[in-house]
Structure 1
Amino acid sequence: MQKEGKVVPLAAAIDRGGRAPLPCLPVLLLQVRDKAALQLRQGLQDLFDNADDTLFEMADKALDRCDQSLYFEAMRDLRLKRKSIERGFLDTFHETFARIGQVDLLAHLVEPDNSGGKAQVERAAAVEGMVGRVLSRDGMALQQLSLRLQALLDRPLYEQHNPLGPAALCGYFLDAGRNLGVCLRVKLVLLKLFERYVLRDADVIYGEANQLLAAAGVLPELQPAPRRRAEDRRMRARRGPARLGQALGADAAGQAFFASLQTLLAPLRGQFAPRLQAVTAAQPITTADLLRLLSHLQRYVPATHEADDFELGPQLEQLLLRVSVRSGTRRRIGVADEDMINLVRLLFAYIQRDDNLPASLRALIARLQIPLLKVALLDKGLFSRASHPARRLLNEIAGAAIGWECNREGVRDSLHLRVERTVQRLLNDFAEDAGLFSELLDDFLAFNQDERRRNELLEQRTRDAEQGRARALQARQQVQQLLNQRLRGRVLPQVVVQMLVQAWSQVLLLAWLKQGEGSQAWCDAVQTMDTLLASIIPPHEPQALLQQVPGLLKALRDGLASVAQGSLATREFFLQLEQLHLRACAGSDEPPLAEVLVAHDIVLAIAEEPGCAPLWQDDGHAAALLQAQRLRIGTWVEVLDEDQPLRCKLVARIDSSDRLVFANRTGMKVREWSSTSLAQALQRGEVRVLDDGLLFERALEAVLDSLRQV
């Protein structure tokens, strides 16, 4: 058997960097290794591509903020260390292959370490289950591979030490992920994903390796292992073509609807390709021929920045002229087909003017005119059934696009790229097969659902933060009001005023936020403050003061401890309070402590004013104010007071402070108004409310209204 130790594929050499040269291995074995490495690399990429969504879903379903933060941190850590894990996995794989058959190399990867307690046991159990499932499913193919490798190497190779065995593959992954700073739950999730995206295709790795070795004459007499799983995948992937007319069937309601429109469309006849339509002796082409011409033009629809150079009428007219010259007979478009062309043309003219959609995505949607026209010619149910896949796809794209805004750096985001890809796929592949619209609709719905769930979670976090902020503001204002009632206009010891404003205000805030204004904790905190103020006023009955002081001191210590007041500041305060109590009993020779006059209102740190302004007295603004007050959660608006218009939607209404909070498409807060200030912005034209109704329905209604007015 020929040996060649210097043969190292270029890609593998780049991946491994400057490691020591491999021991001598047969060239055939290197080919097996490199084929498997490509498959494993793809599986790892699929794993990490899906790990983000899986962890996000777990964060979405988490019952408390601690778990939610844990999953978000895991997502971040995984993104940062993804490349190093992939490289570490493949490095270990190559090193193991270089020392194939050496027992000690795989021992620490395969055998679980029980010294780590419960976490190690659970991880080992998970790995054992994964390995067992692969062996029960693909054990025969793995056994054949081990026999062939043993014959190739001419030395014993036990199955458990096969570098392509499931235990070894799990070991590579665990070894590469040792530096991941995630908890056991997340590690078990990653193991499940490893099983789903890497081990699920172990039969493909084993099958290709066996096929390569058998073709090279290594134990060719072994019967191939059954490929049941691969066949099942191919059968599931095989989809029979469905003609659009057959899939959707004849729609009597659509036919009747279009027939009722033809009277309204009659005045437009002769305007589309007029040089041909004006020839009365011309013979109309069939709808099937028209569809073929449209399919030809569909391939030449330009990119959005060149769309102004492409008009369907002149382009179709040129094709009809060619057909007329070739056939020797003048040809034109049939009346019904011309009416349909005019109807779809009006729909897309409305879409191109609809400023509820961003201009960039509007231009992308406009490229769908020919595919939608072909659908309408084949199945008029497009106009009568809201569930029609082509109609739904258009509406879903428009619904997702309403909140899109151009990236400041001009970089296209995932939504823009997905819409662009969907449009291009239709232009490239759509002929008359309804399955393509249904397939793209399913893909876009799945994409949009993931985007929406992610954004809704971030919106909820924004909403919770704003509600918490409003509650904190309300509590702060309540505490400020209480302190001003007790202290304003009085001359008091500076140490007491300072403690009440800086520390006891936090005790009051905590009681209000945790248990409410009418709670026992709030009443006790207020009572302690009142008792403190009364205890420092001389002259004071010594006996009465002696009865009050122990309970007062205990309440003060407990309160200050609850807000983590520093021990040094607390000790200093109680020393000076003792002097004040002695002075209150008129029995102290200590000099009086510094006193201050609380002449102005106390304003606590970071206090904020509510977002509400005085209501207008002018009745002319009542409509705008009513519109602002009636905005529903989820309403989109466009802010026009910047160089680049900003689109955002209402995600929270804080009634206690009359604040309306708006977030962008990703759920991040970008604007805040009171009802009054928003009404003023609406009145001045700085903000406009967007119509987020279904695009196809809005366009069709607008076209019908314009036709009836002709």
Structure 2
Amino acid sequence: MHNDGKVVPLHRAAGDQADRAPLARLPVILLQVRDKAAQQLRHGLQELFDNADDTLFEMADRARNDVDQNIFFEAMRDLRLKRKNIERGFLEQFFEAFASLTQYDPAADRLPRTRVIEESAPRTDDRERTVAVQTMVSRVLKRDGFALDQLTARFSALLGNRLENPHNPLGPAMLCEYFLQAGRNLGVEIKVKLILLKLFERYVLADTEQLYAEANQLLLATGVLPHLKPATTRRKSEHASADISFEVHDDPPPADDGVEEAFAALQQLLVHVRGRVAPTLEPGAPAQPINTRDLLRLLSHLQQYVPALEAQEDFDLRNQLEQLLTRVSVRSGKSRVVGTADEDVINLIAMVFECILEDRNVPDSLKALIARLQIPMLKVAVLDKSFFSRSTHPARRLLNEIADAAMGWSDCDGDARDSLYVRIEQVVQRLLTEFVDDPAIFSELLADFLAFTQDERRRTELLEQRLRDAEEGRAKADLARRRVEQALQQALLGEVLPASVLAFVQQAWSKVLLLTCLKHGDQSAEWQADVQTMEQLIWSVQRHDDAESSLRLLALLPGLLKSLRDGLSSTAFDPFATSEFFSALEALHVRVLERSDDTDRHATGLIEVSPEVLQQGADPIAAATPSAGVPQDDAGLRQVEQLRMGHWVTFDDEDGQALRCKLAAIIDATGRYVFVDRTGMKVLERSRTDLAQAFCRGTVRILDDTLLFDRALESVLGHLRRLNRGK
């Protein structure tokens, strides 16, 4: 592919090449064949790229993981940026192939490299691509090989030199080679390249019958090998009708049977709402419907005057169109109305947008932007009736993606400073200023918008994952603290202990237990050993009158002291405080062994551990007890059970402000539900009980995050069905 410093129109490039030496020696009729074929190939390439976004987006939808999905999204963006270069590179190589015909050497074996492959070669990316090309070429030769043979024979007669099919510039192998070479700078994975090759076969190679038939017809008309029997044209009537509609009709070519059938079903539902676009006409004057192209011109005129956001409520598209048709009728002297099919489209789009603008799930500030898309969406629907039946239509997807991205948009957000709001506003403005009648702009804007939202989604997901990890860690710590408090209560409650030992257990050994519980759990051997050490410490400082207990204490002390020191070391307890405690503990053990009267219940320095004493000395980081439960059949609780990760909800506060947030974490251990805003920042935390009560009060509701346009269309169709049944 050449990297020219300027863009040269293809027809001019063709003329420039015709003046160069090798090409100038080609017969004029071959130049005509080349130029005619170039028109068809250029049209096929344009169709390929127009449909590539749809195909790649569908592949991204079906991707099994984020990595594959990102591959397809990046491919969409790369393809859009390099589309023009690939189209130009393809046609440049096509012209060069014709230029080289004058230097063709039949003795040289110069097959295109894409056709040469060893069957025993490893299955690399190159091999996969080559196998795909070989399969495509074989299908074309099987289908249209006879017509290609005739074309090659006629080329040979004109050149005075024998030409082989693989070197015919219009042969399938050469066409594939142009495409591969033109796209060699695409930075995409092999799976994407194979998809593009399939699209090349569908939109370019599928029409080789017409390509060869027209080329043969041109050569036959000038007397080149007139005795050759023409190939049978399987789709002759189809091509003829396409040519007639293209040359004669001003309206777009008709849609396929499936689309027409689906739209006809919609029209049956719309019978009772016709007449809403009713311009003021001369009494008794016969109404003359305007054609679709004229309607599009009127809509483009209105599109330039779509009001600003604050005036959207006063903008009635059907009323505006009526007034415009009235003025057109007065100027032309003919009563002009909208055709039935176009009126049905207008009514259906108007009702869908009315439904969207009444949808409680759509943020109010977004509704004003969406309202401005009504005319562009109407024009797309007028041009392409599959807009209503194809959920993957780029215009529908763009609207749905905008609504999905803004699901968490609170009206209290600063719109002017919000990057998402600015991006959506840019999309709307581009459609209003640039969209005339080429729907390709929707695919371009969709790819850009998806790239933008994908970047934002990655950042949000990273923040949400960090939040989940932090919340789960906090919940685990809370449960561990609660378990430590239970262990302390069981060991201390009702005992009479020296104040220093009680303080040590509550303030120092509780931390040892907490660390062990967090690291190993409360069912582990380590936990049992630390609890046992605590129990042994408590027993060791109490009065024992029997000799057997004294002997047991003497045997217990070495292991007990070692366990205490090891535990304190694991928590990095203050060495000075540790030394002081062990000195005091040694004195306590000496008095116990001497059976001193100081160990009597009423002696100074002893404390009887009661619930109040435990509460006073409790670690302030201990967790609070969970809130009270609610009945299992509670209506609010049933709604809580329906909440899933990623669900959007809206909370109404006392001031009437609505806060939209997404459920980012459900902490099963504590029964807490954590909510974030659309940037991934934590905004709320509620217990199951609190949420259930909020649902019962109606201060929280789950938002419907299904596709916006599809939801609105289904609602309108349901209304129309009920209306027809009522008639």
TM-fit CA distance, 1:543: 4.0
CA contact (8 A) 1:287 1:377 kept: yes
- CA change 1:571–1:439 in 2 (3 A) is same
Higher deviation after alignment, 688-697 or 560-569: 560-569
**What is the 5 A alignment of 1:17-28?**
none
- CA change 1:326–1:248 in 2 (3 A) is closer
Which residue of structure 1 aligns with residue 143 of structure 2?
Answer: none
Q: Deviations over 1:507-546 (max 9, x none)?
A: 1111111111122221121111111111112237554333
- CA change 1:584–1:676 in 2 (3 A) is same
- CA change 1:276–1:314 in 2 (3 A) is farther
Q: Aligned partners of 2:461, 2:253: CA distance in 1, in Å? A: 34
Q: Deviations over 1:86-106 (max 9, x none)?
A: xxxxxxxxxxxxxxxxxxxxx
Aligned mate of 1:598, from 609, 614, 621: 609
Which residue of structure 2 aligns with residue 688 of structure 1?
Answer: 701
Which residue of structure 1 aligns with residue 303 of structure 2?
Answer: 298
Aligned mate of 2:572, from 557, 564, 575: 564
Q: Aligned partners of 1:246, 1:494: CA distance in 2, in Å? A: 96
**What is the 5 A alignment of 1:176-195?**
none
Q: Aligned partners of 1:337, 1:451: CA distance in 2, in Å? A: 39
TM-fit CA distance, 1:590: 8.2
Q: Aligned partners of 1:608, 1:548: CA distance in 2, in Å? A: 34
**What is the 5 A alignment of 1:598-637?**
598-600=609-611, 601-602=614-615, 603-616=618-631, 622-637=634-649
Which residue of structure 2 aligns with residue 484 of structure 1?
Answer: 489
Aligned mate of 1:659, from 672, 676, 681: 672
When the two structures are superposed, what TM-score results if normalisation uses the length of structure 1? 0.63
TM-fit CA distance, 1:254: 2.6
Q: Deviations over 1:160-214 (max 9, x none)?
A: xxxxxxxxxxxxxxxxxxxxxxxxxxxxxxxxxxxxxxxxxxxxxxxxxxxxxxx
TM-fit CA distance, 1:464: 1.3
Q: Deviations over 1:264-313 (max 9, x none)?
A: 21121112235359976121100000001101111111221121232212
TM-fit CA distance, 1:236: 8.9
TM-fit CA distance, 1:640: 0.9
Which residue of structure 1 aligns with residue 650 of structure 2?
Answer: 638
Which residue of structure 1 aligns with residue 371 of structure 2?
Answer: 366
Q: Deviations over 1:134-166 (max 9, x none)?
A: xxxxxxxxxxxxxxxxxxxxxxxxxxxxxxxxx
Q: Structure 2: which 5+ runs fail to align?
A: 1-65, 68-181, 188-245
CA contact (8 A) 2:512 2:567 kept: yes
For residue 572 of structure 1, give the secondary structure of its aligned residue in structure 2. helix
Letter in 1 for 2:342: D
Which residue of structure 1 aligns with residue 425 of structure 2?
Answer: 420
CA contact (8 A) 2:543 2:595 kept: no
Q: Deviations over 1:382-441 (max 9, x none)?
A: 111111100111111111111111345564311111111111111111112122100110
Which residue of structure 2 aligns with residue 554 of structure 1?
Answer: 562
Letter in 2 for 1:672: E
- CA change 1:503–1:280 in 2 (3 A) is farther
Q: Aligned partners of 1:408, 1:377: CA distance in 2, in Å? A: 36
How many residue pairs are counted as aligned between the two chains? 474
**What is the 5 A alignment of 1:518-533?**
518-533=523-538
CA contact (8 A) 1:639 1:686 kept: yes
Letter in 2 for 1:628: V
Q: Deviations over 1:435-486 (max 9, x none)?
A: 2100110111111111111111111111111111111111111110110011
Which residue of structure 2 aligns with residue 511 of structure 1?
Answer: 516
TM-fit CA distance, 1:565: 1.2
Letter in 2 for 1:699: A
Higher deviation after alignment, 461-470 or 665-674: 665-674
CA contact (8 A) 1:247 1:434 kept: no
Which residue of structure 1 aligns with residue 241 of structure 2?
Answer: none
Which residue of structure 1 aligns with residue 294 of structure 2?
Answer: 289
Q: Aligned partners of 1:590, 1:277: CA distance in 2, in Å? A: 118
For residue 669 of structure 2, give the secondary structure of its aligned residue in structure 1. helix
1:394 equivalent to 2:394? Answer: no
For residue 280 of structure 2, give the secondary structure of its aligned residue in structure 1. helix
CA contact (8 A) 2:672 2:688 kept: yes
When the two structures are superposed, what TM-score results if normalisation uses the length of structure 2? 0.61
Letter in 2 for 1:533: I
**What is the 5 A alignment of 1:345-360?**
345-360=350-365
CA contact (8 A) 1:648 1:670 kept: yes
Letter in 1 for 2:716: V
1:321 equivalent to 2:326? Answer: yes
Aligned mate of 1:308, from 304, 308, 313: 313
Which residue of structure 1 aligns with residue 127 of structure 2?
Answer: none
Q: Aligned partners of 2:565, 2:372: CA distance in 1, in Å? A: 72
For residue 405 of structure 1, give the secondary structure of its aligned residue in structure 2. coil
Q: Aligned partners of 1:655, 1:321: CA distance in 2, in Å? A: 66
CA contact (8 A) 2:665 2:674 kept: yes
1:583 equivalent to 2:588? Answer: no
1:379 equivalent to 2:384? Answer: yes
- CA change 1:410–1:448 in 2 (3 A) is closer
**What is the 5 A alignment of 1:206-217?**
none
Which residue of structure 1 aligns with residue 687 of structure 2?
Answer: 674
Which residue of structure 2 aligns with residue 88 of structure 1?
Answer: none
Q: Aligned partners of 1:661, 1:474: CA distance in 2, in Å? A: 17
CA contact (8 A) 1:392 1:441 kept: yes
- CA change 1:514–1:251 in 2 (3 A) is farther
Letter in 2 for 1:474: L
- CA change 1:276–1:665 in 2 (3 A) is farther
Which residue of structure 1 aligns with residue 448 of structure 2?
Answer: 443
- CA change 1:272–1:594 in 2 (3 A) is same
Letter in 2 for 1:380: K
1:574 equivalent to 2:619? Answer: no
Which residue of structure 2 aligns with residue 47 of structure 1?
Answer: none
For residue 653 of structure 1, give the secondary structure of its aligned residue in structure 2. strand
Q: Structure 1: which 5+ runs fail to align?
A: 1-59, 62-231, 238-242
Q: Aligned partners of 1:277, 1:391: CA distance in 2, in Å? A: 39
> Share of identical aligned residues, percent?
55
Q: Aligned partners of 1:249, 1:403: CA distance in 2, in Å? A: 40
- CA change 1:451–1:408 in 2 (3 A) is closer
For residue 652 of structure 1, give the secondary structure of its aligned residue in structure 2. strand
Aligned mate of 2:553, from 541, 545, 548: 545
Q: Aligned partners of 1:443, 1:248: CA distance in 2, in Å? A: 29
For residue 649 of structure 1, give the secondary structure of its aligned residue in structure 2. strand
- CA change 1:316–1:246 in 2 (3 A) is closer
For residue 409 of structure 2, give the secondary structure of its aligned residue in structure 1. coil
Q: Aligned partners of 1:544, 1:247: CA distance in 2, in Å? A: 101
Aligned mate of 2:717, from 696, 704, 708: 704
Letter in 1 for 2:563: A
- CA change 1:587–1:612 in 2 (3 A) is closer
Letter in 2 for 1:624: G
Q: Deviations over 1:194-241 (max 9, x none)?
A: xxxxxxxxxxxxxxxxxxxxxxxxxxxxxxxxxxxxxx99x999xxxx
Letter in 2 for 1:654: I
Higher deviation after alignment, 663-672 or 342-351: 663-672
- CA change 1:595–1:249 in 2 (3 A) is farther
Q: Aligned partners of 2:316, 2:566: CA distance in 1, in Å? A: 79
For residue 337 of structure 2, give the secondary structure of its aligned residue in structure 1. strand
TM-fit CA distance, 1:246: 12
Q: Aligned partners of 1:508, 1:458: CA distance in 2, in Å? A: 32
CA contact (8 A) 2:673 2:686 kept: yes
TM-fit CA distance, 1:496: 0.8
TM-fit CA distance, 1:263: 2.0
- CA change 1:417–1:339 in 2 (3 A) is same
